Chains A and B, each alone.
Chain A
Amino acid sequence: MNIRNNIFFLSLIFIIFLYFISNTFFSWITEFPDILKIPIAKYITIFIKWLIEDADLGLFTFKQLTRGIGSLLDAPSLFLKGLLATGFKFEMTNGNSFYFPPLSWISIIFVFVTTAIWLKDYTLTFFVAISLLYVAFFDLWESTMTTFSSIIVAVIIGIIIGTLLGILSYKSKTLNNILTPTFDFMQTMPVFAYLVPALMLFGYGPAAALVVTLIYAMPPMARVTKNALDQVNSEIVELGKMVGCSTMQMLYRILLPSIRPRMMLGVNQVIMLTLNMVIIASMIGAGGLGYNVWQSLKQLRIGQGFEAGIAITLVAIILDRLSQKIATRRPVYHEQKTKFFQKNIYLIIIFLFIIITWLCGNWYSFFYNIPENMTVSSGRFWDGIIDYININYHGPIRLVRDFFYIYLLKPLKSFMISIPWFVVVLLVFTIGLRIQGLALGLKCSILVLFIAMSGFWEKAMISVYLIGICVLLANLIGIPIGIIAASNDRVHRITQVIIDTFQTLPAFVYLIPVIMIFSVGDFSAMIAVVLYAIVPAIRYTDNGIRQVSSSYLEAAKSNGCTKFQILRRVQLPLSLPDIMLGVNQTLMMGLSMLIITALVGTRDLGQETLIALSKVDPGRGLTAGICVAFIAIIVDRLINAWSQKRKKELGLTTSIS
């Protein structure tokens, strides 16, 4: 053990030495030789252009295939949209048109409220009612219904495909090995990177938005399903075998029902991530609340953007809580003699109500459109607050910002750019080698090599610097908050609400006010990312400490430890793997915010994807996206490996969170 440590430190010293002499001796260490740079971006663009314009599968071209799939995908969300938001227009051959109005807003609110009552959760009922009334009276109803219809389709398809893939990777080890890195990619590549190819393949409209949303939101479902299946109690499986289940029966009647609670975590994540994508989806034609946010912020109507953003958060919470409750319901058994009427009374009432209000809509337009003079907006109020802060507190704000920039951001940025690529490759290799072995070291250093070869090295380093400092700050602030929340229930409840909001409130909403107060630059980008990335830091720390087994705590207490000693010597060391997982997640979230920072004005990989989007250059976007994914994978693997090692040392491997 000691020898390994010594070799490790020696290599570190050597690497640092290399860093200092690199400028004078080996210029190829600092600047990746141009000859070896591969124009990967160009090749990818050529390939995709070929795929779209020329690829022919015999019966039909590739483009026709994808466009066909696109129209199939369009259909359910267009139908739902018509039903809930815009109504249906039918053109007759004689030139007349038929218009079926959408379902009345009153009836939709009624449906949701009744569902909540049926679930016997009265706090939820109240919450649902208030949220939907808010949406209706703040003039956001049609947008919300549009968003809702596309989300429902995305979530349902995401759950189905995710479960299927999860089951398949449970059954087949090869498939699992292929799918795991694929999922990593899908979750870490910036959306804008694959937006252009998606648009080219599926056209402007709900289909492309759906595909893009699915790529981002589906992996958690697959991962959770596989994980849960892995942990199914072997006795249950044996029972199934003993009773003579076929494979299908085993799946449907034994395995899936037993992992249902865990699968709900996957469903929750799919819903949350889908809602994260709402804004980007609206940029490519999906409309809805995302469009409201985007448009309001473009015209600097911060208050209006904020209202639409809150609506998105409310929809997320409603969908999440309702689905959780529905999934964990215990089935209700009726006596044999209850009539159809009694068993399904809720459904019947809802059905009647919908029909009646829909018919009323034909006479009183109030039923399907709240008149303008009854809607309100708090927009000016929020605008006023931002203005107030901007004008009155500008002096100290500018001091803080400049201080941060001059003494922290700028020097760090120059340092990161100046590190020779070769040094980074060696460093990553050595760390991987030390933590787990040759395989890890080689894997990670090859990924670094790819980034160097792609020609995006400097941009990648800027991304690393920016996200690195955000991750550091997010953890420095988040972990202590998590610790406090773990020991104090009141703080815990407050932080839960705050982090749920920050996870679903679109970053755009607080990005523009941040720019107004702190001006365009790395500092504003940093604030936006930290606000988003701090969520997992708090959540995982809080959770991890709370999960420490009480037997440890009792042992410590009976040994006479003070509260602080318990924290420092028992809780923190034992929850370190969970905290590290939180750090890992902070990194993932930080990286996914690269697009947002690009919109502020940084010159990194995120911006490359933006440029690719406007120049319609899919190769450039995809290559930059791959670099981002690689950075994520490298750090994720290293942290994971270290965390696993630590868990083994602490004897915690049997419990997997």
Chain B
Amino acid sequence: MKKIINRFLKSSLLITLLFGSFYISSIAKAAVPESKDPIKVVIMGYSGDNIIMQIYGELISKLGYNVEYTPADYIGQFAGLKSGDLHIGSPGWDTTAKDVMADAWGSGTVLNMGNIGISVFEDWWYPLYVKDKCPGLPNWEALLDAECAKSLATAETSPNGRFLEGPIEWGGTGGLRIEALGLPIEVINAGSDAALGADIVAAVKRKEPILAWTWQPYWLPAMYPGEFVAWPEYGDGCYDDASWGPNPDKTHDCGNPTGYMWKSAWAGGESIWPKAYDVWKKFTLDEKTMGDLVYKSDIDGVDTMDVAKGWIADNESLWSEWLK
């Protein structure tokens, strides 16, 4: 009997200690929001976004903040921003993350910190040599030609041409556009951005005709000469109103809207690091600068952190305004 009581006491003590330590460590984390807490700045891995975040990170380091660059996924980061695991988000693009951003801003836990000032463009892209097989490009009507479609075909889509789109979760509208404009083309989704890039680059290297999804600013269209297909220009109503555009019966009979890169941040952080948030609100860059910086890192092979530091060194008059 004594043995059983003994054992019981021992194990309950152990359990209490265990739970106690869980509780304390969770409370401890929540009760110390002083400003030396590291600010988690999201790093996605794309050179352009990396450079932006690293410029910002280095600037607030100058102010004395403790910056922690945290790797995260483009769409997945919004979940982290909502819950406060990530603090300063990597810019979201209107062209692919509009819904996710709207959802995040609407939830009240993520702040819209404004437009970075860089317009972005994403659409169907082809390397220049494709024009040999499809005369008439960049006009989209060149794609209606059966011979052109055949030159773009693969075993999976034959005799239709193949349009290589990004991962399904990016919400591409390729299928809808094909239906609306009656193109002899089929959509194949790459499973990841890496797969997409690999396929395009490999095709370009062996001079194989390819039609694929690409965006600017990005190293791919900067490195390999190519053009975007020219569609009927986007207007409000294209996506909801069938009567809009060349096809009176279907929606999505137009190109992509252009958009901007938007800054986001975790709402809770504003009271913890108010100055850092203020700097983020004021942060802007233009397309030309972005293009030059991306070129330096992707074509010239300079490390993104060095590119960021170089920009900071050359542009003190610009950023000192943000830090005021």
Contacts and interface: CB of A to CB of B under 8 A. Distances in A.
Interface in A350-364: none
Interface string A505-526: 0001001110111011100000
A600 interface: yes
B53 to A, nearest CB: 14
B36 interface: yes
A300 B201 contact: yes
A512 B195 contact: yes
Contacts of B71: 282-283, 285, 287, 291
Contacts of A515: 195, 198-199, 202
B195 to A, nearest CB: 5
Contact of A601 (B22, B47, B75, B190): B190
A283 B195 contact: no
Interface stretch (B79-87, B116-124, B135-143, B274-282): B79-87
Nearest to B164: A520
B219 interface: yes
A402 interface: yes
A601 B29 contact: no
A91 B66 contact: yes
B112 interface: no
B187 to A, nearest CB: 11
Contacts of A387: 205
Interface in B124-146: none
A597 B191 CA distance: 8
Contacts of A64: 23, 26-27, 30
Contacts of A391: 205-206
A199 B156 contact: no
B259 to A, nearest CB: 19
A511 B64 CA distance: 42
A59 B156 CA distance: 58
A468 interface: no
A295 interface: yes
Nearest to A75: B25
A607 interface: yes
A520 B190 contact: yes
Nearest to B193: A298
Of the candidates B27, B29, B156, B196, the one having the most CB atoms from chain A within 10 angstroms of its own CB is: B156
B216 interface: no
Interface in B50-90: 64, 66, 70-73, 75-76, 78-80, 83, 85-86
A613 B21 CA distance: 31
Interface in A273-295: 282-285, 287, 291, 294-295
A67 B29 CA distance: 9
A601 B188 contact: yes
Of the candidates A71, A284, A391, A520, the one having the most CB atoms from chain B within 10 angstroms of its own CB is: A520
Chain A, interface size: which category?
35 or more
A60 interface: yes
A516 B202 contact: yes
A15 to B, nearest CB: 31
Interface in A425-444: none
Nearest to A208: B85
Given A60-B26, A283-B73, A599 B195 contact: yes
A298 B47 CA distance: 10
Nearest to A522: B156
Interface residues of B, number: 56
A200 interface: yes
A601 B189 contact: yes
B205 A390 contact: yes
A614 B75 contact: yes
A222 interface: no
Contacts of A76: none
Contacts of A282: 71
B64 to A, nearest CB: 8
A199 B192 CA distance: 21
A248 to B, nearest CB: 12
A116 to B, nearest CB: 33
A609 to B, nearest CB: 11
A600 B205 CA distance: 20
Contacts of A291: 71
A204 interface: yes
B154 interface: yes
A603 B167 CA distance: 10
A406 interface: yes
B318 interface: no
Contact of A65 (B26, B28, B46): B26
Contacts of A287: 71
Contacts of B302: none
Contacts of B36: 91
Contacts of B154: 402, 519, 521
Contact of B195 (A65, A71, A517, A600): A600
Contacts of A607: 168, 191
A508 B192 CA distance: 11
Nearest to B203: A519
Interface string B192-230: 111111110111011010000000000100000000000
A295 B205 CA distance: 22
B22 A65 contact: yes
B72 A402 contact: no
B194 A512 contact: yes
A200 B82 CA distance: 10
Interface in A188-238: 196, 199-200, 203-205
A382 interface: no
A614 B76 contact: yes
5 contacts: A68-B21, A287-B71, A291-B71, A601-B167, A613-B73
Interface of B: 21-30, 36, 40, 45-47, 64, 66, 70-73, 75-76, 78-80, 83, 85-86, 154-156, 164, 167-169, 188-199, 201-203, 205-206, 208, 219, 298
Considering the complex of A and B, which 5 residue pairs feature the smallest CB-CB distances, nearest first?
A68-B26, A68-B22, A516-B202, A601-B191, A204-B85
